[in-house]
Amino acid sequence: MTVVGVVGAGVMGVGVAQNFAQTGHQVVLVDVDKASLEKALTQIERNGRLSRLVGGPAVDVAAMMAAITVDVEVDALAEADVVIENITENWDLKQQLYGSLDRVCPPRTIFVANTSAIPITRIASVTRRPDRVVGVHFMNPVPMKSAVELIPGHHTSPETMHRIREVLGAIGKKAIEVKDSAGFVSNRVLMLTVNEAACLVHEGVADAPTVDEVFRECFGHPMGPLETADLIGVDTILYSVEVLYQSYADSKYRPCPLLKHMTDAGLHGRKTGKGFYSYDEYGRVLPAR
């Protein structure tokens, strides 16, 4: 059985750990923050129970929970065949973590970076196994999404690509391969759109519900860009736009000041209960007062 290490127990780590555990994999979930691990287990258990109600598969919740162990130390990943990294979108943190993973994990372990925007070749360069580092950009919420972006770095080997396609196949994900470049395909476009949508609110052109209404009613999008920002995490949006801005040195990626303000104020979206909208404990939008 493939032992899957999942590092980072936030929005994405919860979804990735759940998806692997509910499909018969053994999962070791690691986060530096003990409270995040406790919250993650509660969320995974609840997501498993509610899976059918939201259009997902029936989940054996007891078996899924028994397949997950949690730890605050990366040393717990010493037996992992694959490690999927989902920590905060911050280069310094990621650089440090990959150095530690490289020391702890055996040479066979494949490192999967689930970054929004950082190039995979840059991540691989801080390890001694660039041939066994690959990017998989999972979509949120992970168990409900059928496809991922698959990104080989400059040195990623054909064996690593083959193995990771097998791993993704085992959880029912279609892999869409794209070349390595900051933001890949999805976030080069999505982050610009969300950033510009935030600028519309910042400038008072329209409020958030009106911006989203235009996208839903006129374009048929299931969710507008600002509700999407809340789903992803307003802080994660800001960090990703900052990575794009630094990577391309192009003013079109200049982060909207409102994203900075909201991040500083803790208005991170669904995960903190408030962002462009307010949320109940199940992540449902509360009516505006």
Q: By CB under 6 A, is residue 115 in contact with ligand NAD?
A: yes
- Name the CA radius of gyration of the chain, rounded: 19
Do 229 and 275 touch, CB atoms closer than 8 A?
A: yes
Among 19, 109, 114, 263, binds ligand NAD (CB under 6 A): 114
CB of residue 74 vs ligand NAD: minimum separation in angstroms? 7
How far, in Å, CA of 60 to CA of 58, rounded?
7
* Measured CA distances, 226 to 31, 214, 276 (Å): 28, 11, 7
How far, in Å, CA of 238 to CA of 234, rounded?
6
Do 259 and 238 touch, CB atoms closer than 8 A?
A: yes
Among 81, 89, 227, 230, binds ligand NAD (CB under 6 A): 89
How far, in Å, CA of 196 to CA of 192, rounded?
6
Closest by alpha carbon to 39, among 5, 8, 4?
Answer: 8
**Size of site (CB under 6 A) for ligand NAD:** 29
149 is a catalytic site residue: yes
Structure tokens at 60: 């054996």
Among 10, 152, 153, 255, binds ligand NAD (CB under 6 A): 10
Residue 147 phi/psi, 5° resolution? -135, 160
**Stretch binding ligand NAD (CB under 6 A), from 42-50, 85-93, 101-109, 252-260:** 85-93
Q: By CB under 6 A, is residue 87 in contact with ligand NAD?
A: yes
Q: Are strands 26-30 and 3-7 parallel, antiparallel or unpaired?
A: parallel
Site string for ligand NAD, 26-65 (x = CB under 6 A): ----xxxx--x-----------------------------
- Of 126 and 206, the one with the shorter C-beta distance to ligand NAD is 126
**Residue 286 neighbours by CB distance under 10 Å:** 11
Site string for ligand NAD, 229-268 (x = CB under 6 A): ---xx--x---x----------------------------
Among 6, 12, 201, 267, binds ligand NAD (CB under 6 A): 12
Query: Which of 149, 195, 240, 242 is labelled catalytic?
Result: 149
Residues interacting with ligand NAD, by CB under 6 A?
Answer: 7-13, 30-33, 36, 86-89, 93, 97, 114-116, 137-138, 140, 232-233, 236, 240, 271
Active site residues: 116, 137, 149, 187
